[in-house]
Amino acid sequence: MYVKWQVKPRRKSRWSQDKENHNYSDLLTATLVRSRRVNSQPRQEVIGYLGSIRERTTQGAEFAHRQEWFWEKAITTLDRLTDRISQADREKIENQLAQRVQRPSAGALEQSAQQMKRLEKVMQSVRRPA
């Protein structure tokens, strides 16, 4: 059992003003796969979809909230699959995920939450009255 990573290129919007300099980021998806043989031929069986995240947001404290969303989805899926995977396999899977997507620290999550609150205040002050 292993994590299969796929990189899906982000389509560039035709409405973007500056297509060459816009910071596009590919989507990184994680799928849990079991490899087995059928009639002496290798086959991959998809066990579950673990989550997705933009490739440029996999590392760094400034993206802690996005990393946390990824990890919440992955952990929820792994919790649902406890009858199909052993504890040792789960630990291997979580290590494979951590090699690609940083697990945010509590401090980084707190800093990210404060940043989101500041952003919400700015957005509220900019909104037009209805």
Express each pLDDT in 14-69 by its tens digit: 655 555 555 567 889 999 999 988 899 989 999 999 999 988 878 877 788 888 88
pLDDT of residue 74 exceeding 70, the answer is: yes
Is 113 inside a domain boundary?
yes
Give the residue numbers spanning the domain of 58: 28-126
- Angle at the Cα of 37 from the Cα atoms of 30 and 5, rounded to 5 degrees: 10
In a domain, 9, yes or no: no
Alpha helices in 23-63 (DSSP H): none
pTM of the model: 0.74
Asked whether residue 13 is assigned to any structural domain, the reply reads no
In a domain, 23, yes or no: no
- Local confidence band at 99 (pLDDT 50, 70, 90 cut-offs): very high
Examine residue 92 and state whether it is found in any structural domain, yes or no. Answer: yes
Quick check: is 17 in a domain? no
Domain total for the chain?
Answer: 1
Strands (E), the chain: 2-8, 27-38, 41-54
11 assigned to some structural domain: no
Pick from 66, 38, 43, 65: nearest CA to 53: 66
Q: Does any domain span residue 22?
A: no
